[in-house]
Amino acid sequence: MSHTINIRVYYEDTDAGGIVYYANYLRFCERGRTEFLRFLGVENKPLKDQDVFIFVVRHLEADYISSAFLDDLLSVKTSVDMVKNASFLMKQQVLRHDRVLFEMDVTMVCVGTNGKAVRLPENLRKVLEND
């Protein structure tokens, strides 16, 4: 299963030439991951507020394929590719219409209040595996 959100490109997202600044694709993907997890019933704030755990980025690989521009309507597509004991791999794409502009693989780790990796709770593991 995948989840998609739409993002409009504003002036704040672009460089002086009206092209999306490269680091903003990471911001767009962060929003996509957050909304995908929310869609699955997993919200970051309650987990953090209850001192349960948080998700952190351990590793990412990104490919910039083509540029996005001011006022473009982009789609951020997110899916879970693999689930391990304390981490999971997400695949993400930023598209304009059906054209892929950017794609990224990101490994998320479940971290406890002590800053160390902890096992994904079984109920969360099942949700992520059955996405």
Segment (H or E) for 48: helix 44-49
The pLDDT of residue 23? 98
Select which of 15, 63, 71, 81 is catalytic: 15
pTM for this predicted structure: 0.90
The pLDDT of residue 111? 92
The pLDDT of residue 53? 81
Walk across the sheet containing 54-64 and list its strands.
2-8, 73-83, 87-96, 99-111, 54-64
The pLDDT of residue 46? 67
Instruction: Please list the residues that pair with 60 across neighbouring strands.
Output: 106
Reply yes or no on whether 51 is catalytic. no
Segment (H or E) for 104: strand 99-111
Q: How many other C-beta atoms are found inside a 10 Å radius of the C-beta of residue 44?
A: 14
C-alpha torsion 9→54→100→6, nearest 10: -40
- Cβ atoms of 89 and 105 closer than 8 Å: yes
Instruction: Compute φ and ψ for 121, nearest 5 degrees.
Output: -55, 145
In the chain the domains, ranked by start, together with CATH numbers, are 2-129 (3.10.129.10)
Residues 33, 44: Cα–Cα separation, whole Å: 11
The pLDDT of residue 48? 63
Residue type, 89: L
The one-digit pLDDT tens for each residue of the chain (131 residues) are: 899 999 999 999 999 999 999 999 999 999 999 999 999 888 777 666 665 788 899 999 999 999 999 999 999 999 999 999 999 999 999 999 999 999 999 999 999 888 899 999 888 899 898 85
